[in-house]
Amino acid sequence: MMTARVPDLSALAASGPRDEKGGIEALYATGHWLLSEDRAADGACVFRAMALLAPTDERSWLGLGACHEALEQPDLALKMYGTGSALARPCVRCDLARVRLLRAAAKDDEAEAILERAAESAESSSDEVLVALVLAERRSS
């Protein structure tokens, strides 16, 4: 009778992740795919793991917020976007998501203050895409 030999993975485990960036990208792709497949609860689990591993990656908080919006949990979505705004820099996209939700809740003064902060962040980043996103949000108000 043969017994199964369990491989010793301690050396591999001690070396840590071989490609952390690739792992984060895989989590993002998986979470995004799940959300696009109307599996927001599953996507939220993946984005939550991503947020634990890369808390300064704005995409994890955007994904979490989007999942909670899809699950019709706007208060929780607002908290996820707010956490992203606090941890990720620049956080223009999280701020714009907060603006949209705050406007929907008729909290226009708070939304305007956050939009101003997003505009300042976008301009100081010199990222033309972020500046364009802020301008589009201003036009929609």
The DSSP symbol for 7 reads P
Q: How many CA atoms lie within 13 A of 136 on its CB side?
A: 11
In a domain, residue 3? The reply is no
Contact 141, 103 (CB under 8 A): yes
In this structure, are 120 and 67 located in the same domain?
Answer: no
In-domain check, residue 8: no
Do residues 99 and 85 lie in contact, with contact meaning Cβ atoms separated by under 8 Å? no
Summarised one tens digit per residue, pLDDT across range 76-97 is 999 999 999 999 887 999 999 9
Q: Tell me the residue range of the domain where 52 lies.
A: 20-88
84 and 47 part of one domain:
yes
- In the prediction, which pLDDT does 21 show? 79
* 14 within domain boundaries: no
pLDDT at 19: 57
User: pLDDT tens-digit profile of 104-114?
Assistant: 999 999 999 99
> Does residue 27 share a domain with residue 68?
yes
Which residues, in sequence order, are CB contacts of 21 under 8 Å at separation 6+?
A: none
Least-confidence region, from 61-70, 110-119, 132-141: 132-141
Q: Is residue 116 part of a domain?
A: yes
CATH number at 67 reads 1.25.40.10
Q: Do 127 and 109 share a structural domain?
A: yes
Examine residue 67 and state whether it is found in any structural domain, yes or no.
yes
pLDDT score, position 13: 41
Average pLDDT for the chain = 88
Residue 2 has pLDDT above 60, yes or no: no
Same domain, 81 and 94: no
